A and B are shown apart, each in its own frame.
Chain A
Amino acid sequence: MSLYEGSVKRPIMTALIFVAIVVFGVFSATKLPIDLYPKMEPNIIMVMTSYSGASASDIENNVTRPLESTLNSVANLKHITSRSAENMSLITLEFEYGHDIDDLTNDVRDKLNMITSALPDAVSTPIILKFDSDMMPIMILSVQADQSTNGLYKILDDNVANPLARIPGVGSVSIGGAAEREIYVYCDPVKLEAYNLSIEAISQIISAENMNIPGGSFDIGNETFPLRVEGEFNDPKEMENIVVASMGGSDIYLRDVAEVVDTIQERGQMTFTNGVRGATIVVQKQSGANSVEISNKVLEMLPKLQENLPSDVKIGLVANTSENIENSISGLAETVLYALLFVVLVVFLFLGRWRATFVIAITIPISLVASFIYLAVTDGSLNMISLACLSIAIGMVVDDAIVVLENVTTHIERGSDPKQAAIHATNEVAISVVASTLTMIAVFFPMTLAGGMMGMMFKQLGWMMCVILTVSTVSALTLTPMLCSQMLRLKKKHSRFYTIFFTPIQRVLDGLDAWYGRMIDKAVRHRKTVLTACVLICVAFFFTFKYVGVEFFPSSDDSRMTVKMYMPVGTRTERTHAIAKELADKWMKDFKDEARVVNYTVGQASEDNTFASMQDNGTHIGSFNITLVDPDERERTLFEISELIRADLNSYPEIEKYTVSAGGNSGMGGQSSIDFEIYGYDFDATDKVARDLRAELLKLDGVSEVRISRSDYQPEIQVDFDREKLARHGLNVSTAATYLRNRINGSTASFYREDGDEHYIKVRYAPEYRTSIEDIENILIYGANGAAVRIKDVGTVVERFSPPSIERKDRERINTVKAIINAGVPMGDIVTASNKIIKNMDIPLGINVNLAGDFEDQQESFGDLGVLGILIIMLVFIVLAAQFESFTDPFIIITAVPLSIAGVILALALTGTSLNVMSLMGCIMLFGIVVKNGIVLIDYTKLCRERGMSAIQSAITAGRSRLRPVLMTTLTTILGMVPMAVDQGEGSEMWRPLGVSVIGGLTVSTILTLVLVPVLYCMFTGVGIKRKRRKHRRQLALDAHWAEHKHTMIKSKK
C-alpha cells in the first residue's frame, strides 16, 4: 500500500498525525527564546599580556612579536591584530566562522604554553579572553537625581543594581556616572614638614587606629568571655582626633596637619540625562541567556525599585535592545500574517471553492509550525532569520498541495469517486511533486554548507526551508489527498453566490487562457523573432544595472546612536563637560520631536566599573547615547539626524575627533565603512599617509566621517630620577616613585566601614598643593636613614609626549583609516573613488595601503554567494536532468535563471534598492523558484508529445492547460513576499531588498518564461526532428544502396 493510498484509507490516523505535529510545534513555539539573530559562535579570541614598566615599543618587540609569530600558526586563523601600549599587549585573533570556539581556545592555550618560557621574566602569564556578542549591554538605564548626587552610588548599588543582578540570566549590572564615596585625608605638606611627618606615617597611623582586634577569651568563674577591642571609626570625623605625633611635650592631632573630608571620588564620571545630573546603569546578560525575557523582567521590576528610592531619584530607559528585537519580530510576524492572507485569497479566487481553499491553506500552518519543532530540537530561537524564513516559505508550501488538488479535481470531474480519485491522482503527480521539492532543496540545502559570515547567517534559513518544504511535500502527498477524498465532491450545481461572484472571474480566467493560447500559437510560429526580443529585453534590463548601487548590508534604523567626542588629550573634565553640555542642550532643542533621551557621560571611569573601563574613557572624552522615537513617529531618519550631529561636531574647533555610530547597535546593520589599512614600520610616514588620505576622503560626497586608528602622542609629566643621587640617600627609583604616587594619587590607609559597605580612606596632598610642576618638585621623599630630600634634588620634572600604542595586523605595523559611508550611498562608488585617490597619492616605498573592513567582508560574502549560486544552479540542473532524463529540457528550464536576474536588476533599479547581501540572497532563492514554472510547462508539453501531438500543438495545449497553475503558484509566492517588500517597521530595511528582488525576478521571469519556454521547446524539438529525419534519409539511402549492391557484396552460395 502506497503512502497516499494508506493515508486516504486511514483518514483518522493521517489527520491525527498532523494534529500531533501541530501540537508539538505550538508547544515548541511557546518554549522558543526570542532573539534578533540566530546564535552565532563567536570567532574572536583575545590574548592579554602585561609587562609592567615596558614602553609600547618594548612591548612590541619583547612580547607582542614573539606571541604573534607563535599564535600565527593556529589553525583557521583569519587575521591577527595586536595593540602594544605601555605595560600591556593585547592580541586579537580573528578566526574563520563556524569553528568551535572552545577547540580554538585550547589551540591558542597550547601555543601560548610553548612560548611563555621564552618571554622576559617580568611578563605576566598571558590571559585568554573570548569575545562574545553576548557581552553587548542589553539595557541602559538612566538615573536622574537633583539632590542625592553624593550618595547616589550607594543608593543605586543597594536599591537597583543588586536587586537587578539577582534576576536569573543577568550577567553584570554596572553603575556609571555616580561617583563612589571616599574619605580623603587632605594633608598640608608644609605642616607635615614642620612636624616631621610624612603621608606614609599618617597612613600607617590611621591604619593602625582603625582596627578591630579580638583579644582571645578568658574565664570568669563558670563562664568564658571573648575579649575584643573595637577600634574602628564610627564616624570619619573621629579620625581628626587621632594623635599623629608629639612635639615638645604637646600632642599633635591629625586635624592639625590635615583635613578629613567625607566626599565622593575626586575623579569620576559624571552622567547627565536630558540635562539632569544622574547616572547610567548598564545591564549585561549572561552568555546564552534570553535578552527579551531578561529585559522584560527588568522592566517589570523597575517600578518596584523606584518605590524604594528617594523621591528625587528617577529611573528612565536609555536603550533597550529587546525593544528593538520585539519590534522587529512583531513586524515580521505581521508580515507573515499578511502573506498568509494574500496566499489564501489567491487560492480562493482561482479555485472558487472554499473546501478546496481550506485543503490547500491547511498545509501552510502545518508546515510552518513543524519548523518550530526543528528550532526547539536544535536550540534555535525565534529571530529575524527564522521569521523571514516563514514569510518566504508561505508562498511555496502551497505549491505541492495545489498540484495535487488540481489533479484530484480533474479526476473527480472525469467521474471518479473522490476516494479513488485522491489515490490515483496523487499517484500520477507524486514524482513531479517530489522533483520540484528536490529542486527547491537543491537551492536551500547548499545554504547550510556556506562558509563565512553568510554561513552563520543563513545556516538556519537553509535548514528551516528544507524542513518546511519536506513537511509540505509529505503533507501534500498524504494529508491533501486524504482531505480531498473527504471534502471534495463533484459539483453538480453551483450555489447562487458562486454564480454571481465567480462567473466573472471564471470568464476572465477563461479569456486569459484563450488569449495566452493564441499568443503562444503566434510565438511558436515566429520563434526567432521571439527569442531575439527576449534576449534584447533581457540585455536592456541588464543595462539598468548602472543605476543600482552596491553595498554590503542594508543599514537599519534602530533609533539609537552613540556619539563620542575627543577633545585634545589632557583636557580637563570640566572643559569637556562644558562642551558636552552645550551640544546636548542644542540637540535636545534641535531634535525635540525626535529625540527621546539624550544622555551623556564625561570623565574618567574608575577601575572597578566593568563596563565603563572596557570602553574608551578619559578626562577629554565625552560620550553620548541618543535614543530617538520609533521610526514611524518621526520625519527624519536616524542617518539624516546623524549627519546633522556630525555637522554640529564639526563646528567646534576644540573637538579633535569624534565618532558617530548610528544604528546597528545590536550587531549588524549599522552604517557601512571602508577601512584603509596602511602598513608600514615608520610611524611618521604612515601617519602622514593617513592624514593625507583622510583629507582627500573627506572631500568625497557620501563619506560622512573619517577616523584614524592611531591616537596622538599624549603629553605627560615625567620625573627623571638621578640614580646616583637616589642611591646616596638610600633610595631607588621604585621607592621614590611610590612616594610620589602616595602624594598625588594618595595612599590607601584603610577602609571606613558603614552599613556593611567599605569606603576607601585615602591620605594624600590637599588639592591646592598639587596644581603645578613646582608642587611636584617640592615633594619631600625620605631616604633609608629617615632624612628628607626634595624631588628636585634627586631628579628633574619634565614634560614629554608619550608615544601612542602600536597597532599591528597580520604581524605588521598598521594605521587604519576608517571611512564611514552615508546610508544609501553605494559602497562600490566610494571604493572606486578612493582607489583613484590612493593611486594619485605619493606613497613612500615600503608602505602598503589595503582595503578592508566592510568592503573586505562584502567581497568575501559576495564571493561566497557567487560560489553558492553556481553550486545551486548545478544541483538544480542535475535534479532536472535526472527527472526528465534529458539534457535539453533542463537547459530550456534553466533559461529562466538569467531572465530572473534581469528582473532582479530592473526591480532594484526601479525601486532604488541597492545590491547587497540580502538582495543577492533573494536572487539565489529565485534560482529554485523560477525553474518551477518551467518544470510544470515542460512536463505537460512532453506529456502531450507522448500522447501523439505535434511539437507546436503540444506547446500550445500545455501552455493553455498549465497557465492557471503557473499563475497561481507564482502569484502566491509574489504576494507572500509583498508584505516583506513594503513593510516600513523596525528592522524592515533588512528584508526589503530580498522581497524586492524576489518579486522583480519572479515577475519578469514568469512573464518571459511563459513565452520563451514553449518557443525554446519548439526550437530544440524542431532541431531534434530535423536530425532524426536526416538520419532516416541517410538510412533509407543506405538501404537502397545495399539493396542495389547486395549481390556484389555478399558471396553467393556455391
Chain B
Amino acid sequence: MKSVFIAYDQAYQEKILFTLDHFNCRGFSMFPQIQGRGSKTGEPHYGSHAWPSMCSAILTIVRDEQVDPLLEELHRIDKETERLGLRAFVWNVEKTI
C-alpha cells in the first residue's frame, strides 16, 4: 500500500477525479481550498488579490501496482498545461486498521 498526495490547481479538479476513477482508486481524502506555492516555477496559489487562484489536494491510498500508471497519467496531465501546476508525492503506508 502506498499513499499518493496530489496537490493541484483547482481547475484540475474534475480531471483528477476522473483519473482516480479510471485507475480504480476508490478511496481518497480531499482538501479543497488550500494555499501553497511551487518550489521552482510554481506560481503562488493564495486566494489573495495578487494571487487569486487556489489549490486543492487529494490524499489517496492505493495498491503498489497502481502507483506508477497513476503517476504517469498525472504527469501527462501536468505536461499538457504546465502553467496551472500539478504535483504528486508518494509515501509508504506503515500500518492501517
Listed in ascending order, the chain A residues whose CB lies under 8 Å from chain B are 411, 414-417, 419-421, 424, 427-428, 942-943, 946-947
- Chain A nearest CB, measured from B32 CB (Å): 12
- The chain B residue with its CB closest to the CB of A413 is B83
Query: In the bound complex, how far is the Cα of B12 from the Cα of A417, in angstroms?
Result: 8
A-B contact pairs, 29 of them (CB 8 A): A411-B11, A414-B81, A414-B84, A415-B80, A415-B82, A415-B83, A415-B84, A416-B9, A416-B11, A416-B81, A416-B84, A417-B11, A417-B15, A419-B14, A420-B10, A420-B12, A421-B11, A424-B10, A424-B11, A424-B52, A424-B53, A424-B54, A427-B52, A428-B52, A428-B53, A942-B49, A946-B48, A946-B51, A947-B51
Judge if B13 is at the interface, Cβ distance under 8 Å: yes
Contacts of A417 in B (CB 8 A): 11, 14-15
Q: Please tell me if the beta carbons of B11 and A420 are within 8 angstroms of each other in the complex.
A: yes
Chain A positions within 8 Å of B14 at CB level = 417, 419-420
Q: Does B97 contact A (CB under 8 A)?
A: no
Contacting A at CB under 8 A, from B26-75, are: 48-54
Q: Which of A420, A427, A946, A947 has the most CB of B within 10 A?
A: A420
Residues from chain A with a CB closer than 8 A to the CB of B48 are 946
CB-CB nearest in chain B for A427: B52
User: Which residues in B have their C-beta under 8 angstroms from that of A947?
Assistant: 50-51
Instruction: Give every chain A residue within 8 A of B81 (Cβ-Cβ).
Output: 414-416
In the complex, chain A residues whose CB is within 8 Å of the CB of B80? 415
Q: How far is the CB of A964 from chain B (nearest CB, A)?
A: 20
- Give Cα distance in the complex from A417 to B14, angstroms: 9
Considering only CB atoms, which chain B residue lies closest to A947 in the complex?
B50
B-side contacts of A420, CB under 8 Å: 10-14
For the complex, give the distance between the alpha carbons of A820 and B95 in Å: 100
Chain B 72-97 residues near chain A, CB threshold 8 A: 80-84
Once the chains are docked, how many angstroms separate the CA of A427 from the CA of B10?
Answer: 12
Inter-chain CA distance A420–B52, complex, in Å, is 14
- Hey, which chain A residues are within 8 Å of B10, CB to CB? 420, 424
A762 to B88: give the CA distance in the assembly, Å.
113
How many A-B pairs with Cβ below 8 Å? 42
A419: B residues at CB distance < 8 A: 14
List the B side residues contacting A943 at CB < 8 Å.
49-50
CA distance A414 to B11 in the complex (A): 10
Once the chains are docked, how many angstroms separate the CA of A989 from the CA of B49?
A: 46
The number of residues on chain B lying at the interface, defined by a beta carbon within 8 Å of a beta carbon of chain A, is: 19
Complex Cα distance, B75 from A513, in Å, reads 36
Complex Cα gap A789–B49 (Å): 107
B81 to chain A, nearest CB (A): 2
Complex: chain B residue closest to A942, CB-CB: B49
Across-interface contacts of B51 in A (CB, < 8 A): 946-947
B12: min CB distance to chain A, Å: 8
| Of listed A414, A428, A946, residue having the most chain B CB within 10 A | A414
Q: Which chain B residues border A421 with CB–CB below 8 Å? A: 11
CB distance from A418 to the nearest CB of B (A): 10
Known pairs A415-B80, A947-B51 / 10 extra A-B pairs, C-beta < 8 Å: A414-B81, A414-B84, A416-B9, A416-B84, A417-B11, A420-B10, A424-B11, A428-B52, A943-B50, A946-B48
Task: Give B2-19 as 1s and 0s: 1 = Cβ < 8 Å from A's Cβ atoms.
Answer: 000000011111110000
Q: Which residues of A contact B9 (CB under 8 A)?
A: 416
Sorted from nearest, which 9 A-B pairs have the closest CB atoms?
A: A415-B81, A946-B50, A416-B11, A428-B52, A420-B11, A414-B83, A947-B50, A943-B50, A415-B84
Chain A, residue nearest B48 (CB):
A946
A405 CB, min distance to chain B CBs, angstroms: 16
Q: How far is the CA of A427 from the CA of B82 in the complex (A)?
A: 22
The answer for the CA separation of A611 and B91 in the assembled complex, in Å, is 98
Residues of chain B with a CB closer than 8 A to A946's CB: 48-51
CB distance from A434 to the nearest CB of B (A): 14
A990 to chain B, nearest CB (A): 44
- Please give, as numbers and ranges, the residues of chain A lying within 8 Å of B13 by CB-CB distance: 420
Query: How far does the Cβ of A941 sit from chain B's closest Cβ, in whole Å?
Result: 11
Smallest beta-carbon distance B29→chain A, Å: 21
A424 to B56, CA, bound (A): 13
**In the bound complex, CA of A804 to CA of B14 (Å):** 91
Q: Return the chain B residue nearest A428 by Cβ.
A: B52
Closest chain-B Cβ to A375's Cβ sits at a distance in Å of 38
How many whole Å from B76's CB to the nearest CB in chain A? 13
How far does the alpha carbon of A948 sit from the alpha carbon of B42 in the complex, in Å? 15
For residue B82, which residues in chain A have a CB less than 8 angstroms away from its CB?
Answer: 415
A132 to B54, CA, bound (A): 63
Closest CB of chain A to B47's CB: distance in Å?
A: 9
Chain A residue numbers with a CB within 8 Å of B50 are 943, 946-947
| Chain A nearest Cβ from B44, distance in angstroms | 8
* B14 CB, min distance to chain A CBs, angstroms: 6
Residue of A nearest to B81 (CB): A415
- Of all chain B residues, which has the CB nearest A946? B50
Find chain A residues with CB under 8 A from B15 CB: 417
A415 to B12 CA separation, bound complex (whole angstroms): 9
State the CA gap A417–B80 with chains docked (Å). 12
A993 to chain B, nearest CB (A): 40
| Contact partners of B84 in chain A: CB under 8 A | 414-416
Closest approach, in angstroms, between the C-beta of B63 and any C-beta of chain A?
29
Q: Chain B residues near A414 (CB, 8 Å)?
A: 11, 81, 83-84
Chain B residues near A424: list those with CB within 8 A: 10-11, 52-54
Closest to B44 in A: A947
Residues in A neighbouring B52, C-beta threshold 8 A: 424, 427-428
In the complex, which residue of chain B has the Cβ closest to the Cβ of A939? Answer: B49
Of B10, B13, B48, B52, the most chain A CB neighbours within 10 A belong to B52
Nearest Cβ distance between residue B78 and chain A, in whole angstroms? 10
Q: Which of A415, A417, A942, A943 has the most CB of B within 10 A?
A: A415
Give chain A residues whose Cβ lies under 8 Å from the Cβ of B12.
420
Q: State the CA gap A853–B57 with chains docked (Å).
A: 74
Q: Which residues of A contact B54 (CB under 8 A)?
A: 424
Given the complex, which residues of B lie within 8 Å of A415, measured CB to CB? 11, 80-84
Give the CA-CA distance A408 to B93 in the complex, in Å.
40
Closest to A415 in B: B81
Bound-state Cα–Cα, A428 to B80, Å: 24
> B11: which A residues are within 8 A, CB to CB?
411, 414-417, 420-421, 424
Complex Cα spacing A1036 to B82, Å? 44
Distance between Cα atoms of A523 and B52 in the complex (Å): 30
With A and B bound together, what is the CA distance between A942 and B48 in angstroms? 12
CA distance A416 to B49 in the complex (A): 20
Taking CB atoms, residues of chain A closer than 8 Å to B49 are: 942-943, 946
Please measure, in the bound complex, the distance between the C-alpha atom of A139 and the C-alpha atom of B82, giving whole angstroms.
Answer: 73
Whole-angstrom CA separation of A556 from B80 in the bound complex = 64
From residue B20, how far is it (CB to closest CB) to chain A in Å? 16
* Cα distance A411–B10 in the bound complex, in angstroms: 12
Cα separation A416 to B54 with both chains bound (whole Å): 13
Q: Which residue in chain B gives the minimum CB-CB distance to A412?
A: B11
A415 to B84, CA, bound (A): 7
Smallest Cβ distance from A21 to chain B, in angstroms? 30
User: Whole-angstrom distance from the CB of A1 to the nearest CB of chain B?
Assistant: 12
Chain A residue nearest in CB terms to B46 = A946
Q: Which residue of chain A has its CB nearest to the CB of B43?
A: A947
Alpha-carbon separation in the docked complex, A255 to B40 (Å): 126
A1041 smallest CB distance to B (angstroms)? 37
**C-alpha spacing A417/B54, complex, angstroms:** 15
CA of A946 to CA of B84, assembled, Å: 20
Look across to chain A and name the residue whose beta carbon is closest to the beta carbon of B13. Answer: A420
**Residue on B nearest A407 in the bound complex, by CB:** B52
Nearest CB of B to A613, in Å: 72
Q: CA of A419 to CA of B11 in the docked complex: distance in angstroms? A: 9
- Taken together as a complex, chains A and B put the C-alpha atoms of A615 and B65 apart, in Å, by 103
Which A-chain residue is minimally distant from B54 (CB atoms)? A424
| Chain A, Cβ-Cβ closest to B15 | A417
> What separation, in Å, do the CA atoms of A437 and B18 have in the docked complex?
39
Query: How far is the CB of B16 from the nearest CB of chain A, in Å?
Result: 11
Residue of B nearest to A884 (CB): B49
A416 / chain B contacts, CB cutoff of 8 Å: 9, 11, 81, 84
State the Cβ distance, A504 to closest chain B Cβ, in Å. Answer: 29
Output the least CB separation between B1 and chain A (Å).
Answer: 31
A415 vs B10: C-alpha distance in the bound complex, in angstroms? 12
